[in-house]
Amino acid sequence: MVSWITINTNIVLALGVFVDPPSGQIYVGDQTNNRIVRFDNMSGTNWTTYSTGLNSPAGVFVDLLQRVYVADRNNNRILRFDDMSGTNLTSLAGSPAFSGPFGIFVF
């Protein structure tokens, strides 16, 4: 049996989705609205956004230390921050090295 849940947060173009297995939190790169959206669960009742300086985020990843990585496509950079408030933001920038990154995976 399949059950669908619709969450209305006005996400226009979700180009990166990451599910954090330990917490069950869902991270979405909302490219058109230039933000990352984190849902604490599938009910959609508790969600948080980060958008400071983002321009078409196209990928998101969360490591074992709960650090968030973002492929910030139109800014040609990869971002890493400690939480959804942007604490300890680190940027790896530069074109052509990061020319329009479209996804991210950290191993």
* Separation between Cα atoms, residue 85 and residue 92, nearest integer Å: 18
| pLDDT tens-digit readout, 32-44 | 999 999 998 877 7
In this prediction, residue 21 carries a pLDDT of: 87
Confidence band of 100 (pLDDT split at 50, 70, 90): confident
CB 16 within 8 A of CB 28: yes
Long-range contacts of 82-90 (CB under 8 A, 24+ apart): 84/36, 84/38, 84/48, 84/49, 84/50, 85/50, 86/50, 86/52
| pLDDT tens-digit readout, 52-70 | 999 999 999 999 999 999 9
In this prediction, residue 29 carries a pLDDT of: 92
pTM for this one? 0.84
